[in-house]
Amino acid sequence: MADKNRIGLIQIYTGNGKGKSTAAFGLALRASGCGLRTAIVQFMKKGEWYSEIAAIQQLPLVEIYSYGGSKFLKKGTTPDAENLQLAKDAVAKARELMTQGEIDILVLDELNNAVFFDLLTEEEALSLFREKPAHMELVATGRNATQAMMDAADLVTEMREIKHPYQKGIQARKGIEF
């Protein structure tokens, strides 16, 4: 476990380009290699759909919790009860992990989109930032990070799409895009 006197920062990986979750999982890989414990709480993702889950489950010192519903979300529609409850459950899990004191890095995968799709308020997301223990690194991923969330972060990286195979009609490929 990391030195409790270490300074933990808030990072945001956002934008329309590919690689936001992958960057956060790469951080978990690096951290595992030097004995740091990482927890990943996924908003809006079902664990069984993503190949990275199988890989992460084999890493020492990395735990992953997925809170994705069975229904696709669309901006402008009222979120269904299942997805709202799963988002609340994900927030509760994040808070539990923060208060236990055993985690060095907490990844909130797709937190930005959970706010965008009205599963959480911006204030709920910002409260997680404020409640972060001083030594813990907190990483929020997903498109559509709000300006207030980016202002509260110490590091913001925007993944910018320049060209994507979808534009040529190439569908997502297992092991590459998911």
Question: So what's the pLDDT on residue 99?
Answer: 96
Please list the residues that pair with 10 across neighbouring strands.
Answer: 138
Please report the pLDDT score of residue 2 as a whole number. Answer: 54
What is the pLDDT at residue 126?
Answer: 98
User: What value does the mean pLDDT of the chain take?
Assistant: 92
Q: Which residue has the tokens 């489950």?
A: 57
Phi, psi of 21 (to 5 degrees): -65, -40
- How far apart are alpha carbons 103 and 112 in whole angstroms? 21
Determine the average pLDDT of the residues in 30-51. 89
pTM score of the predicted model: 0.91
Quick one: pLDDT band at residue 72, thresholds 50, 70, 90? confident
pLDDT score recorded for residue 50: 75
Evaluate if residue 34 carries a pLDDT over 90.
yes
Using the predicted structure, report yes or no on whether residue 1 has a pLDDT greater than 60: no
Which of 43-47, 64-68, 126-130 has the highest average model confidence (pLDDT)? Answer: 126-130
Mean pLDDT of the region 42-62: 85
Query: What average pLDDT does the segment 172-178 reach?
Result: 78
For the stretch 94-149, pLDDT in tens is 999 999 989 999 999 999 999 999 999 999 999 999 999 999 999 999 999 999 99
User: Does residue 48 come out as left (phi exceeding 0), alpha (psi in the -120 to 50 range) or beta?
Assistant: alpha
Question: CATH number of the domain at 10-168, please?
Answer: 3.40.50.300
Res. 29 pLDDT band, cuts 50 70 90:
very high
Secondary element (H or E) of residue 13: strand 10-14
**Domain assignments of the chain as residue spans, ordered by start:** 10-168
